Amino acid sequence: MDYYELTIWSRNYEDTFERQVERAYDSLVEMSKVEHLAPKYLTAMSKENAPDFELTKENIEELMKSRTDKKFPEIGEEMSFFTSKDDNKICGISLSTGKKTPLFVNSITVNIAFMNLEHDVKKRNQLINLFKKLIEINDAFYACALDNTNYNLYDGYYDHTSKLPKSIFWLNFLGEEVVDLLPQKEASLNRVRNEIYQLEQFKKGYFVRLAETSVFDDEEKIAFQKKINREIGLKLN
């Protein structure tokens, strides 16, 4: 079993509550199209006691209303789900919405368990399509998808001091805000265009796919990853 984290960071600070509900619902509907990524339970202290969850827009709205801090509504709402009570299929989904200040990030984080994703082109393409769709739905300024080994190597994926990613991972979206902080802006990415698997303009930024396959767990792949980081101008771990 391979374990991955997919995260989407949104620039939506001006959304109405109704628009927040739409984005959350549309995001979860897209996840439900991928095998064993449909949210079926609300997170609880133990999975045995987790309440069932039916994905409807009305249920999302009620859940968001119940999670809103009436005293500090600007900090938004936090919701979390999981997809199965089977340990071999369980995936966790967290949504953070309604934040009105850049001190906090509106985000989606999905912890995914995939059997043989590294060698299954169909599953990889499903995940890539989901990644792009979530970027579009949530007007993202940064997003990435990476395996847990790579996550642990860099101790996360974002440097809050430099406001840049810690690395280029398997899948990445760098919004214009992020690209503008690179040492040579767009030219930093164009330097590695012929070395990485895919670089394309997408929405308000760039979709960057470092390699065809998804796991970075050996010395050769990690050396390549660090070389790309160095050429782009990211701080090396």
In a domain, 61, yes or no: yes
**DSSP class of residue 52?**
B
Q: Tens of pLDDT along 93-144? A: 999 988 776 667 889 999 987 767 778 888 899 999 999 999 999 999 999 9
In a domain, 144, yes or no: no
Q: How far apart, in whole angstroms, are the C-alpha atoms of residue 130 and residue 136? A: 10
Q: Classify residue 103 as exposed, middle or buried by CB count within 10 Å of its CB (0-12, 13-18, 19+).
A: exposed
Q: Is the pLDDT of residue 58 over 90?
A: yes
Report whether 144 contacts 171 (CB < 8 A).
yes
Q: How far apart, in whole angstroms, are the C-alpha atoms of residue 103 and residue 117? A: 35
Sign of the torsion formed by the C-alpha atoms of 148, 5, 228 and 233: negative
Q: Are residues 10 and 73 in the same domain?
A: yes
**DSSP letters spanning 53-121:** ----HHHHHHHHHHH--SS-GGG-EEEEEES-SSTTT--EEEEEE---STTS-EEEEEEEEESSGGG-H
Highest mean pLDDT among 61-70, 151-160, 189-198: 189-198
Q: What phi and psi values does residue 128 have, to the nearest 5 degrees?
A: -65, -45
**Per the structure block, which two tokens stand in for 196?**
């990485």
Q: Are residues 133 and 183 in the same domain?
A: no
Q: What pTM does this model have?
A: 0.92
Q: What phi and psi values does residue 96 have, to the nearest 5 degrees?
A: -120, 115
Q: Are residues 38 and 126 in the same domain?
A: yes
Q: Is the pLDDT of residue 227 over 60?
A: yes
Q: Is the pLDDT of residue 237 over 60?
A: no
Q: Is 43 helix (H, G, I), strand (E, B) or coil?
A: coil
Q: Are residues 178 and 110 in the same domain?
A: no
Q: Are residues 129 and 34 in the same domain?
A: yes
Q: Are residues 90 and 110 in the same domain?
A: yes
Give 116 or 218, the one with higher predicted confidence.
218
Q: Are residues 5 and 69 in the same domain?
A: yes
Residue 12: count other Cβ atoms within 10 Å of its Cβ.
17
In a domain, 20, yes or no: yes
Q: Which whole-number Å values give the CA distances from 145 to 3, 73, 101, 134, in the listed order? A: 11, 30, 25, 12
Total tally of structural domains belonging to the chain: 2
The residue out of 76, 109, 138 marking a domain boundary is: 138
Q: Are residues 10 and 111 in the same domain?
A: yes
Q: Are residues 14 and 113 in the same domain?
A: yes
Residue 235: count other Cβ atoms within 10 Å of its Cβ.
13
- Which domain covers residue 102, as residue numbers? 1-138
In a domain, 143, yes or no: no
Q: Are residues 73 and 179 in the same domain?
A: no
The residue out of 90, 110, 138 marking a domain boundary is: 138
In a domain, 57, yes or no: yes
Q: Are residues 125 and 220 in the same domain?
A: no
The residue out of 138, 170, 188 marking a domain boundary is: 138
In a domain, 220, yes or no: yes
In a domain, 68, yes or no: yes
Q: Are residues 21 and 132 in the same domain?
A: yes
In a domain, 35, yes or no: yes
